[in-house]
Structure 1
Amino acid sequence: MNAITKFSLADVDLAMCRHWSGDLPYRAVVAVSIQPLQGTILYQVAGDASTPRSAIKALKLATEKYGGICFYCKKDKAEEVSIELTIDHIEPQSVGGDSNLTNLVVACKPCNAKKGHQLIDAFNPAATEEWLLALAKQIQQRFDKLKAATPPS
């Protein structure tokens, strides 16, 4: 436990450690455990019984199993078999973005290359709005759950 973390790993609700998008392949990625020393959340992919893995590896596997749509240009692997899908950090690691599931999206190789180390705001304002609205909805749901579980004072 570090100075910022005021809870123990046992307090983490793994059901809340999900992606903000309810679409495939994201909804196929499920948090199953936390590595005690690092505090890293490990994920399984629906339909795959292998060892739990990091968010990036789980989303990559889910994309291979279930396909996906580029978050930026909306090209669908099911419709355009030739597109290569990659995993992109919405907030690039070079500017402090992390590898948590909520910071990862499926992107076609051309969009990922074009975005590079740019912030999402500069690269695709429409995608920025979609991302922020979905995060706000997820935060509101978590807040509502917390509020319902907290007895009145």
Structure 2
Amino acid sequence: EFVLTLDADLQNDPRDIPKFLEALKRADCVCGTRVEGRAAGDNWLRVVSSRVANAVRNRLSGENISDAGCTYRAFRRECVREVKFFKGIHRFLPTMIKLEGHTVSEISVTNNPRFSGSSHYGVWNRLFKSFYDLLAVRWMKARMIRYRVGETAE
């Protein structure tokens, strides 16, 4: 019935799962927003670059997703079934779900410090690919043909 995604390194706290399930009573997709523990979990450059990226993403896509980089999300199964997937979609999944006519909401989630290992994501290895993807999503939103199929009485 539902699909839930979270980081395998437990930076996303599994104790937040009940909050997602409760929020799914009112929305088709629920996105986590890293509020609690954000500063402890990431260095300042990562936090600043994330905020700038979210502002640019929202401005160019016409969205208002607070933390598109947080992949702690929950969806109704039909949302995932209907979305057209592409490399890098994780940054734009809420937008793509909205394009299919579903509702999206956000909840605050705990961001724990990384237990072990290091992130493979940085500013420079994401900047250009993300920007190109953003332009493609913007184009899709502008070119989307919205229609309804219905029956007519004859």
Q: Could you tell me the TM-score, scaled by structure 2's length? A: 0.25
Higher RCO, 1 or 2 (CA under 8 Å, sep at least 6)? 2
Q: Could you tell me the TM-score, scaled by structure 1's length? A: 0.25
